[in-house]
Chain A
Amino acid sequence: MTHKTVRIGALTRVEGEGALVVHARDGRITGLELRIYEPPRFFEAMLRGRGHTEPPDITARICGICPVAYQMSACQAIEAACGAEVTGPLRDLRLLLYYGEWIESHALHVYLLHAPDFLGYDSGVAMAADRRDLVERGLELKKAGNELITAIGGRPIHPVNVKVGGFYRVPARRELAPAAERLRRARDHALATVAWVAGFDFPDVEHDYRFLALRHPGEYAILSGTVVTGDGYGPVSGFEVARWPDHVIEEQVPHSTALHARLDGATGYLTGPLARYALNSARLSPLAREAAAAAGLGRVCRNPYRGIVVRAVEILHACDEALRLLDGYAEPERPCVPVEPRPGVGHGASEAPRGTLYHRYRLDDGGLVAEADIVPPTAQNQARIEADLRDLLAPRLTLPEDELAGLCEKAIRNHDPCISCSAHFLDFRVNRG
């Protein structure tokens, strides 16, 4: 009987801190844990007793990489609880801000975190020593996203201009002009990025994913929509965001490191770029659709390594759509709609760069938060990432451990996990009784 344990002590080039432990016996995997050792921060508990205006700023602090996602899901949940809705030009401004975050976050992942895996470097900085032109292109793209967020939100990390009901101040058209100018160059860079990453050497792997994403009738959903699930080929089933708690259940598995989200009783679904693309690719901008076809993506992409191509296509779509909105931008007449607090429950969901991010709040008689519930994308994906790893490792257990560790890290990075986000409700201490 032979035992083998593979450990990756600290995952690198991911957001937040985690580790992986795999146990095998007689050539079979007996245990696999994507372990989160991010300290818990108790956001849902801290939010109780705060004013109905406060969750967007407070929950932004869950994740410095995708604060806008937290702000948008929080705002929409509270507006739903209060019977308010942000529409028209104000909603367009929210979309613009969110596209900025997609560009920034995806460019960071594609160029600095993920591409080095395909080209044999330890980091984007190391890659810059040989291919400075490429890294500079990535940084320019990232900067275009950050400038768009800054023009609307004040700063790229934890923007200050988002409020329940809209914004504190809407930017004048001329204030957005420099960001638009940079985005035009960024769109060319994004096109080049799709072609570049499409040429990488991808392992020949496909998984039978069950996908979950928002769907919007007129958009490649980012800000809002109904929840749809399916494999990308067959029919989809769907439900309203307000029915989320009826369909998605978080479960703490005994002696495991993580809560696993179950979708209608089944564990291991996937949210994020592959899911959005499989369920919504027909709604991409024409330019992004063309680029995706030229990159050989097909209608559904089930190879997680090619997630980098889907992210590049989403960067292009975000640049393209942001430019369309900026070209048609007229300053909204008022910066926000009134949102009067009232007792009740509201649900909100949006597509963070890493996947669907759900918030629920219950407000009390005094307009204070009585309950908060947040389901971040990485927590939903954790079981599926573990399944990817099992499939990867099962036939390769005889390989040297450092080689296995390297392969696992790459497979995890495919999903751009945001461990900081998931940590606030993932258990990181195992009871090994």
Chain B
Amino acid sequence: MVDRAPRLAVWKFASCDGCQLTFLDCEDELLSVAARVEIAYFLEASSAPGPGPYDLSLVEGSITTPEDLERIRHVRRVSKRLVTIGACATAGGIQALRDFADVKEFAAVVYARPDYIATLDRSTPVAAHVPVDFELRGCPPDRHQLLEVISAFLAGRRPVVPAHSVCVECKARGNACVMVAHGTPCLGPVTQAGCGALCPTFNRGCYGCFGPMESPNHASLNHWMRGLGMSTPELVRIYRTYHATTEPFRRAAEEAQESGEEE
């Protein structure tokens, strides 16, 4: 046993800061977690960054610039365990919509001098570049799951994070199915649990912010959602939001497009 507190680092790449804020949003637990670890690198919270190596690195954000490509390799080198937190780091995030467009054209829309902008053509998850020990889903992640992940890695075990669909959580909460009861299109059947079935609890269809579940049947769901009145472009858009480039959602959008053309 090493007689010192495990050293924790929190890193940010292309993102909204929401995932690291999830950590600061653990108001009841923050000080007790902070007492068990040494928060060695966390720019948003501390002006005393310490050098590596780190026992556990939490990484927020996707890789979108040449510098960040180098930086994520550095993070991997100085980290014993690397966990991605949230949709950007795990799946490329909303900014991965550039993958379906011309990034130069995107830059020209937003910036008067796009030639000043250094960016990659694609927004990629961390695991596309370096080995990742665990990927925590969610835009943003659930803070209970985040605490579970931190506790698990500190204890040297795998985190207990279910891979089943939002539907299971809906049933557990006793929600009426929004598709059946209200005719509201819902990505719950193909989306991984973790949020506690928030959207259906608010009479809204799930919009997939935790990404695809382990074995999604999108063909069946697309058929259902068409029956509820969704058009092909609407179907494509619902998959192409926060996890657009994950294989299951990419395929679901493409199949919606193809079946739309057949009709």
Contact = CB atoms under 8 A, between A and B. Distances in A.
Interface of A: 10-17, 37-46, 48, 50-51, 54, 57-58, 61-65, 67, 108, 112-113, 116, 122-126, 128, 132, 135-136, 139-140, 142-143, 146, 154-158, 160-161, 163, 167-169, 252, 259, 335, 409, 420, 424-425, 427-431
A12 B49 contact: yes
Given A63-B16, A420-B16, 12 more contacts: A12-B49, A13-B43, A41-B64, A63-B17, A64-B19, A108-B21, A125-B39, A155-B198, A157-B140, A168-B202, A425-B110, A427-B111
Interface string B169-199: 0000000000000000000000000010011
Contacts of B139: 61, 158
Contacts of A136: 31
Interface stretch (B72-80, B92-100, B217-225, B245-253): B92-100
A257 B43 CA distance: 22
Interface string B9-38: 000111111111110110110110010000
Interface in B102-123: 103, 105-107, 109-113, 115-119
A293 to B, nearest CB: 31
Given A46-B106, A63-B17, A126-B48, A40 B195 contact: no
Contact of A161 (B15, B43, B202, B209): B202
Contacts of B15: 64, 420
A155 B195 contact: yes
23 contacts: A13-B45, A39-B14, A40-B64, A40-B119, A42-B110, A44-B110, A46-B106, A51-B237, A58-B241, A61-B242, A63-B16, A64-B22, A67-B18, A112-B24, A123-B39, A123-B48, A125-B34, A128-B31, A136-B31, A158-B140, A168-B202, A429-B117, A431-B116
Interface residues of B, number: 67
B110 A124 contact: no
B203 interface: yes
Interface in B125-173: 139-140
B44 interface: yes
Contacts, number: 192
B45 A123 contact: yes
Interface in B33-88: 34, 39, 42-49, 61, 64-65, 67-68
A331 B60 CA distance: 38
Given A155-B198, A168-B203, A252 B112 contact: yes
The 3 closest A-B pairs by CB, nearest first: A64-B18, A123-B46, A122-B48
Contacts of A108: 21, 24
Contacts of A142: 25, 27
Contacts of A50: 237
B64 A39 contact: yes
B234 interface: yes
B111 A39 contact: no
A48 B109 contact: yes
B110 A123 contact: no
A57 B61 CA distance: 18
B232 interface: no
Contacts of B234: 51
| Interface hub of B18, B28, B113 (most chain A Cβ within 10 A) | B18
Contacts of A431: 113, 115-116
Most buried by A among B17, B28, B61: B17
A58 B94 contact: yes
A112 B42 CA distance: 12
Contacts of A335: 203
B140 A13 contact: no
Contacts of A168: 199, 202-204
B97 A40 contact: no
B5 interface: no
Contacts of B241: 57-58
A61 B140 CA distance: 9
A14 B44 contact: yes
A158 B209 contact: yes
A185 to B, nearest CB: 13
